[in-house]
Structure 1
Amino acid sequence: MSLPAKLALAPLLLWQGRQVRRRALCLPEASGPREGVAGHGTGEPCLRLLVVGDSSAAGVGVAHQHQALAEPLARALAKRLDGPVAWQLIATTGHRAADALAALQTAPALAPADVMLAVLGVNDAVAMSPAGPWLATLDALHACAAQRAGVRLSWHTALPPMGRFPLLPQPLRWVMGLEAARLDRALGAHLPTRHDRRLAVLPATPAGTLQPGWIADDGFHPGPQGYRRWAEALAEQIASDAALPLG
């Protein structure tokens, strides 16, 4: 989106943004433990997973972590890898990439991890963050995870189709769709140059506006079916990676 177009729409977008924040249903983060071991078997986990991110990583839109993303992803990985998977979650509603980096840097009890999943970008898209500094922050996030937890491989989720979020009115929905696509393109061009980073694509969603089950009651976050399909798609991509560090 060009700068003149942004400037022309700015008053309307600001007004719509205030209206959305005023009227939006404020859902809590999913309850339940933010660490555990999924799957059966004895001995050391075959994989240790660290999930870092925003409200979607925190499970906003469902009641409990066993319906959200991190724990179901660990279960799906344990099934595919035929061994226990340890998981931990560091996520907070509203976090942008810089906030997630600060949270990871200051986390007091960070367990060792082999793989990190970063669920970030929506709040940076809302803030219309420049792509360059955003990507540099994601680089720093990976470096911090490697230093503090021993992470050897990081996956970054693609940005969701914000241009289809029912909560957002037009033209705000259209603009947010463009902003999300802009960061997503930058991420897709950036990661292939890094041998220890991957882009995780999203599962296919129904055509048109996202439907109940796929989307939460707030019209913005995943619902139970959305999280379930997302966790399965992530597990398939992560487990099939030949570079996956096991054990």
Structure 2
Amino acid sequence: MRGRVAGPVVVAGLVVAGLAGALGAAGALATRSLLRRQAAAARALIGKPLGETAHDADRVVRKRYADRGPCLELLMVGDSIAAGLGAETAKGTLGSRLAKDVAKAVKRPVRLRTVARVGSESSMLLDQVAGLPASYRPDVAVVVVGGNDVTHRVPVAESVRHLQACVRALQERGAAVVVGTCPDLGTLQPVPQPLRALGSRASRQLAAAQREAVLTLGARAVSLADVVGPFFITNPDEMFSLDRFHPSSMGYHRTARAMLPSVLAAVGVRDDVPFGHHAPATR
């Protein structure tokens, strides 16, 4: 799972030119100067990146579910969060946590397959899906993407267009799709204000657009900023890994639990949609 890491250095420089420009001509120079100083301070505070490789977590979760039906195929698509960068062990990644929780609920073994790549933007999603064997048919695909689009100043409309193309490609393979929308970059507490607030606004704008875009295609959306973001704010030492940007194993544990209701609904195990979970309207 190799790729360009949008880690602390990139996040600390969070769209400095673009966000400053968005504030208008008046005071733009002073704003740019302030944000650049804050970016430099953030680089020193956040810490070193974790590298470009997440743990290889792909496996079949069997245990006591081995003889209770065929494997349920779970596919992870997206960026470093979907890949599990920051988890201390392979079993601590988001995909591995979801596979274990889904297996418990459906009483069947779950085969985890991960095509997510560290550093991916939404424009890279379709290639991840296209690289799968033509015969592969996932039961449910979980997509998490958006943080790199924000930090690399990708226009929202462009990000959403690529995400929709990915969702369609997954649905053509027969997958039910659950999208974890862009996390709130305002939870990165080592990033000072106003840089952090601007990052929060940009990431929430993208998340809202992602949610509406995938619902129109019949996919499900989970607002990560709402359902798991508060844990990262109140318990940053536990929820973040050493780089203070990617989740730790505990952070992935919380994120998996937060996404689980929509994943189970996607495979027909539950019908209710809790707060922060969005299902397409029935017709």
Fold match (TM-score > 0.5): yes
In the TM superposition, residue 24 of structure 1 has moved relative to its aligned partner by: 3.6
Q: How does 1:57-136 map to 2 (within 5 A)?
A: 57-107=82-132, 111-136=136-161
Aligned to 1:199: 221
The residue type equivalent to 1:201 in the other structure is S
The one of 184, 187, 199 aligned to 1:176: 199
- Higher deviation after alignment, 88-97 or 6-15: 6-15
* 1:164-199 Cα distance to aligned partner (Å, 9 max, x none): 21242322211111110110111222233222x110
Going by fraction, where is helix more abundant, 1 or 2?
2
Deviation at 1:223, TM superposition (A): 1.4
Following the alignment from structure 1 to structure 2, what is the Cα–Cα distance between the partners of residues 186 and 121?
A: 11
One-letter amino acid of the structure 2 residue matched with residue 72 of structure 1: R
Match of 1:238 in 2: 263
**Identical counterparts, % of pairs:** 27
> Quick one: distance in 2 between partners of 1:73 and 1:221?
17
Calculate the aligned-residue CA RMSD, in Å: 2.8
Conserved? CA contact 1:36–1:86, under 8 Å: yes
Counterpart CA distance in 2 for 1:109 and 1:27 is 33
2:164 corresponds to 1:139: yes
Partner Cα separation in structure 2 for residue 142 and residue 122 of structure 1: 18
Give the aligned partner of residue 211 of structure 1: 236
The residue identity in structure 1 corresponding to 2:210 is: L
Does residue 1:158 correspond to 2:176, yes or no? no
Length, aligned pairs only = 240
Matched, 1:30 2:54: yes
The one-letter code matched in structure 2 to 1:186 is: A
Is the 8 Å Cα contact of residues 46 and 84 (structure 1) preserved in structure 2?
Answer: yes
Q: Give the CA deviation at 1:18.
A: 6.1
Query: Which range moved further: 51-60 or 106-115?
Result: 106-115
Asked if structure 2 preserves the Cα contact closer than 8 Å seen for 1:30 and 1:64, the reply is no
Mind listing any 5+ residue stretches in structure 1 that lack a counterpart? none
Contact 2:59 2:111 in 1 (8 A): yes
- Once the two structures are superposed, residues 8-59 of structure 1 have per-residue CA deviations (whole angstroms, 9 ceiling, x without a partner) of 24454456546655774111333234x2211322375352111011111121
Which stretch shifts more, 233-242 or 154-163? 233-242
1:104/1:6 CA distance change after superposition, 3 Å: farther
Tell me the CA shift for residue 242 of structure 1. Answer: 6.8
The two structures have a TM-score, normalised by structure 1, of: 0.84
Report deviation, 1:134: 1.1
Post-superposition Cα deviations, 1:72-97, rounded to whole Å, max 9, x if no partner, equal 10110010111111110012221101
Gaps in structure 2 of 5+ consecutive residues: 1-18, 270-283
